[in-house]
Amino acid sequence: MAARILDGNQIREQIKAELAGEIRELKAAGITPGLAAVLVGTNPASQIYVRNKVKTSAALGLFGEKIDLPASTSTGELLDVVDRLNAREEIDGILIQLPLPPQVDSKKVLSAVDPAKDVDGLHPLNVGRLVSGDFRLVPCTPAGVIEILKRSAIPIRGSRAVVIGRSDIVGKPVALLLMHEHSTVTVCHSKTRDLPQVAQEGDILIAAMGRPAFVTGEFIRPGATVIDVGINRLTTEEEVRRVFHDPAGPLRQLAEKGQVLVGDVQPEDVKERAGAYTPVPGGVGPLTIAMLMANTVRAARQRRGMRAPG
Ligand code: NDP
């Protein structure tokens, strides 16, 4: 049987429609949730992400503000910007686009964000709350992974989940969320021995490594649900030929667009082995911004002591 595609774009639209209703109600009560996105430097991928985040906030009726700072910004200057945003009543969410330039102390900056406005869920207080299961503001991409699984009716409770990657932004929080949802979770990383065999134990396999098409058929338990968080850009013919068994289509795409997006999972193998999977693009990616919007609305409520709807 052909593997089911878990369509992130469709799930994003569902979430946005639900949020639009919530935002209308808040606005009727005189509250417009506000998001400030801070971009330091000119990293092209970060510029696109921030632009899309601000554009989506505006489309949903939120107040969105983009703050551009030069690549030479110091830790102290960025801390001043964060302080000012913390103090502004109309700002409910503060997003510091990562990665920050090397001279900036990222941990110090993320820890300076008011935890009540920390829509990326990276402040140590919110990380601690995530560990203890007291969910307030949960990191967006991991929250998106859980939304995909739940809204696609993939059973999590009692499942075996294998997460490949242990970053603070994706691997660790996704593993914690799955554990809180009563999955039995194994977290793998670059020092894990016998990775394909360990990965094969997963009814749910999450790949969050940043290694193009690293997860091949031998990692995938037949019928497993495979969630591919990776976003990698292939820009040479050689890379495309190395990744795809049948490179004709991707090579055409490379010629037309100058790049081919691929996840951490081999896209042809996953179709054959998995029961369900997220494609790249169009899987986890679309959920990240949707969950950022959801966190901004949630922060707006929580800061005013309002309960979540429903
Ligand atoms: P990091 O580089 O911070 O972490 C990568 C993790 O993968 C590390 O824990 C590393 O292990 C592990 N890893 C790397 N190589 C191997 C290997 N050969 N075998 C086993 N484990 C390995 O990346 P992020 O977590 O920030 O991002 C992961 C991917 O997800 C990237 O492609 C990124 O672009 C994408 N991403 C996508 C988002 C979306 O919206 N869809 C949002 C955020 C990220 P170790 O700890 O031992 O070094």
* Interior angle at CA 185, CA 243 and CA 276, nearest 5: 45
**At residue 84, does pLDDT exceed 80?**
yes
39-58: per-residue pLDDT in tens? 999 998 899 999 999 999 99
Fold of 30-114: Rossmann fold (3.40.50)
Rg (CA), the chain: 20
Residues 271, 224: Cα–Cα separation, whole Å: 11
What mean pLDDT do residues 267-288 have? 97
Question: Which pLDDT does position 1 carry in this prediction?
Answer: 74
Where would I find the H helices in the chain?
8-28, 44-59, 75-87, 106-112, 124-132, 140-151, 171-180, 195-199, 237-243, 248-257, 267-273, 285-303
The neighbouring-strand residues paired with 66 are 37
CATH superfamily of 140-287: NAD(P)-binding Rossmann-like Domain (3.40.50.720)
Query: Average pLDDT of the chain?
Result: 97
Binned at pLDDT 50, 70 and 90, residue 310 comes out as low
Q: pTM of the entire structure? A: 0.97
Minimal-distance CA residue to ligand 1 atom 42: 141
- Token pair listed for 1: 């049987």
170-202: per-residue pLDDT in tens? 999 999 999 999 999 999 999 999 999 999 999
Does this chain's domain 30-114 share its CATH topology with 140-287? yes
Helix (H, G, I), strand (E, B) or coil at 302: helix
For ligand 1, pick from 146, 229, 232 the residue to mutate: most ligand atoms within 8 Å of CB: 229
Minimal-distance CA residue to ligand 1 atom 47: 190
Domain ranges of the chain: 30-114, 140-287
- Write the DSSP assignment of 199-257 as a string of letters: HTT-SEEEE-S--TT-B-GGGSPTT-EEEE---EEE-SHHHHHHH-SS-HHHHHHHHHH
259-268: per-residue pLDDT in tens? 999 999 999 9
Question: Which pLDDT does position 2 carry in this prediction?
Answer: 87
Ligand 1 neighbours, Cβ below 6 Å, are 141, 164-167, 169-171, 188-192, 195, 208-211, 229-232, 284-285, 288
